[in-house]
């Protein structure tokens, strides 16, 4: 008796949402000059499949972490409509082409938001830590303006006491530069860490490495002051 061959298991590929029908609809859309035909093709085939494609890519590649992701999804769908007529079928299949550029569109948004966050961190992470708050009124970690002003008054008084310590010439130059930046806050514009270092180099006549090295010495003094402030000891 011959053995009965086992039936081959079929892979469950799932329902394909982007089919040959959609591919053909895109080809017809690109080739057509008739507004009514284009409108029919988009509303019946292209629009719905673009919408599903965008949503799937967002969840597949974890773009859900982007802020305002719902708005970005709708923005991307509108963008796809604007570039649809530029599609060249000789370069790639419609599904491959539009899925790749959609993914790249969201990657660009990730990079843009990451750059924005890095810029915000650059603005916040100055030396001393809260020095740039003197210049950037929109970034204020103290909800109470009175407390904010009081903090800088105490900090300025603290900085004035540092000049009584034994300092080398370059330390004195950097300290004087910090005091000048405090006193000139209303007259100059500082937007990031590089701008602060640029001003300090111009004021002190030192190079960036010398400025940074001497600022590091000030950090220790500032850390002691900030700890006392946070504990309410001042």
- pLDDT tens digit string along 107-148? 988 888 776 655 544 444 444 445 544 544 444 444 445 566
Q: Are 37 and 28 contacting, i.e. CB atoms less than 8 angstroms apart?
A: yes
Instruction: For residue 143, give both structure tokens.
Output: 């909800």
Assess whether pLDDT exceeds 90 at residue 41.
yes
Average pLDDT over residues 204-226: 82
Could you tell me which residue, 23 or 11, shows the higher pLDDT?
A: 23
Global confidence as pTM:
0.47
Assess whether pLDDT exceeds 50 at residue 191.
no
Average pLDDT over residues 39-51: 93
**Whole-angstrom distance, CA of residue 96 vs CA of residue 86:** 15
Could you tell me which residue, 171 or 54, shows the higher pLDDT?
A: 54
Instruction: List the single range of 132-146, 162-176, 192-206, 209-223 with lowest mean pLDDT.
Output: 132-146
Average pLDDT over residues 12-33: 84
Residue 28: what pLDDT? 95
Chain mean pLDDT for the chain: 76
Q: What is the DSSP string of the chain?
A: -PPPPPPPPPP-----SS-HHHHHHHHHHHH---HHHHHHHIIIIIHHHHHHHHHHHHHHTTGGGSTTHHHHHHHHHHHHHHHGGG--TTTS-HHHHHHHHHHHHHHHHHHHHHHHHHHHHHHHS-SSTTGGGGT-TT--S-SSHHHHHHHHHHHHHHHHHHTTS---HHHHHHHHHHHHHHHTTTT----SHHHHHHHHHHHH---HHHHHHHHHHHHHHHHHHHHHHHTT--
- pLDDT tens digit string along 143-178? 445 566 677 778 778 888 887 667 888 888 888 888
- pLDDT tens digit string along 71-88? 899 999 989 998 999 999
Instruction: For residue 232, give both structure tokens.
Output: 């309410």
């Amino acid at each position: 008796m011959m053995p009965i061959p086992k039936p081959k298991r079929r892979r469950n590929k799932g329902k394909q949402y982007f089919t040959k029908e959609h591919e053909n609809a895109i080809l017809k859309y690109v080739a057509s000059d008739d507004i009514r035909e284009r409108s029919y093709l988009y509303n019946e085939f292209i629009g719905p499949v673009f919408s599903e494609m965008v949503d799937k890519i967002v969840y597949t590649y974890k773009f859900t972490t982007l802020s305002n992701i719902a708005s970005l999804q709708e923005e991307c769908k509108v963008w796809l409509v604007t570039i649809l007529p530029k599609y060249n079928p000789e370069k790639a299949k419609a599904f491959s082409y539009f899925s790749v550029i959609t993914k790249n569109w969201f990657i660009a948004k990730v990079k843009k938001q990451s750059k924005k966050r890095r810029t915000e961190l650059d603005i916040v992470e100055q030396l001393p830590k809260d020095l740039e708050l003197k210049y950037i009124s929109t970034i204020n970690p103290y909800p109470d303006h009175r407390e904010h002003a009081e903090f800088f008054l105490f900090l300025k008084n603290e900085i004035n006491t540092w000049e009584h310590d034994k300092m080398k010439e370059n330390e004195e130059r950097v300290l004087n530069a910090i005091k000048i930046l405090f006193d000139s806050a209303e007259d100059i514009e500082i937007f990031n860490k590089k701008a602060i270092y640029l001003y300090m180099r111009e004021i002190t006549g030192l190079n960036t490495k010398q400025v940074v090295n001497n600022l590091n010495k000030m950090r220790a003094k500032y850390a002691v002051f900030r700890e006392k402030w946070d504990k309410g000891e001042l």
